[in-house]
Structure 1
Amino acid sequence: MRDPRLLAEPPVCRLGCLVLVRNLRGDVLLVDPDYMDGMILPGGSARPNEPPHLAAARHLHAETGLHIRLAGIAAVDFTPADRYLERLNLVFDGGTVCDDTRLTVPPRHRSGLLGARFVPVRDLPNRTSPAQLARITEALACRATLPALVHGQRAA
């Protein structure tokens, strides 16, 4: 039974669904949005009632053309409200792809992206914000992923 009190005032918090993808050299896939300084992990907000792993896969495909099944979470990052609402970012482990993997970035007028590319780890400090760098560094250091669950079952 639904308790209307639980749905009366839902919390104001965005759910960011990001993906960490590496190539065989260990470089990290980043996208370059035209509305921010610096590059970021591919991903975006989940739609209402959208499972996070599917939101992350949807954004990854829309931004880069990659189809990757996501099942594990490498990091969870809470960002307090600043110029945006507070948000909880789930960084999904997108695994490793071949060095010659072709990326398909939609036109800037549709996507808001200037491009996407694999960036060597040593160059991340010059390409990302300090917060993005810390998020990526922690996700890279993760030795094991947390399973993504939907109603207690592993996400498929």
Structure 2
Amino acid sequence: MRDPRLLAMPPVTRLGCLVLVRNRRGDVLLVDPDYLDGMILPGGAARPGEPPNLAAARHLSNDTGLHLRLGHVVALDFTPADRYLERLNLVFDGGTVRGDDRLTAPPQHRSGLLGARFVPVHELPAVMAPAQAARVGEALAGSTLPLLRHGRRAV
């Protein structure tokens, strides 16, 4: 049964679903959106009712051509409202992929992306906004947590 008191004023928060993918050299996969200064982890917002791991996998596939199963979170980042809504960003562990040749970024006019590439970890501060680079640094340093849906593993 739904409690109308809980649904009367739902919170206005965007759920960001991001993916940390590395290659065999340890470089981090980033995308370059035309609407931001700097590169970011692949991912995007979940649709209403969409499980976050499936949203992250959908964005990763659309933005890079990589198809991965995601079930572990390596970072959780809350960003208060500024020029955007407040955001809760989940960073999923995408693991290590074998080759850079599997990347296929869609055309810019359709995706808003200038491209996607693996970037060495020591170069991240030069190509990302400080908060984005810090998020990736924390995700690289942490251990994974399982994503649960109704108390069961989501994968």
What range is the shorter-chain TM-score in?
A: over 0.9
Aligned counterparts, 1:7-156, within 5 A? 7-142=7-142, 144-156=143-155
Runs of 4+ with >2 A deviation = none
Deviations along 1:89-111, one digit per CA (max 9) or x if unpaired, are: 00000000013441011110100
Distance in 2 separating the partners of 1:39 and 1:136: 11
Aligned counterparts, 1:1-12, within 5 A? 1-12=1-12
Structure 1, unpaired ranges of 5+: none
Deviations along 1:13-32, one digit per CA (max 9) or x if unpaired, are: 00000000000000000000
Tell me if structure 1 keeps the 8 A contact 2:100–2:118: no
Structure 2, unpaired ranges of 5+: none
Q: Percent identity at matched positions?
A: 77
Distance in 1 separating the partners of 2:127 and 2:26: 16
Distance in 2 separating the partners of 1:15 and 1:141: 22
- 3-state SS of paired residue (1:78): strand
Distance in 1 separating the partners of 2:148 and 2:61: 21
Distance in 2 separating the partners of 1:100 and 1:37: 23
- 3-state SS of paired residue (1:96): strand
80-89 or 94-103, larger mean C-alpha shift: 94-103
Tell me if structure 2 keeps the 8 A contact 1:25–1:99: no
Distance in 1 separating the partners of 2:26 and 2:147: 24
Distance in 2 separating the partners of 1:100 and 1:74: 22
What is the TM-score with the length of structure 2 in the denominator?
A: 0.98
Deviations along 1:94-149, one digit per CA (max 9) or x if unpaired, are: 0000134410111101000000000000111110000000000000001x201001
92-101 or 29-38, larger mean C-alpha shift: 92-101
What code does the residue aligned with 1:62 have?
N
